[in-house]
Amino acid sequence: MGEAKRRKELGFSPREKPIELPKFDKESVQKKVRAALYKYPIIPILFYGAVILIFVGGLVYVVKFYKLI
């Protein structure tokens, strides 16, 4: 006995089909990111600058916290 017949006998409504998610197009996303980077070349510089500042800030925090100097 299949599930559909069993659900019908028990008085349940038919099972709903799962919603299909849209396909992820990796190439179009890469093209958009590259276009943004070519349009605004300062973005990587700001990103790496922020990472370096966070790293230095964390290093200063650790030095102060453990009183290494």
Quote the tokens at residue 18: 């799962």
In a domain, 42, yes or no: yes
Domains in the chain, number: 1
Whole-prediction pTM: 0.55
Distance, in Å, from the CA atom of 32 to the CA atom of 29, rounded to the nearest integer, reads 5
Distance, in Å, from the CA atom of 67 to the CA atom of 4, rounded to the nearest integer, reads 70
Asked if residues 15 and 3 have their Cβ atoms less than 8 Å apart, the reply is yes
Domain ranges, residue 50: 25-69
In a domain, 9, yes or no: no
SS3 35: helix
Quote the tokens at residue 17: 């089909």
Return the pLDDT at 64. 92
pLDDT digits (tens, 9 = 90+) for 20-68: 888 999 999 999 999 999 999 999 999 999 999 999 999 999 999 998 8
Say which DSSP state 40 is in. -
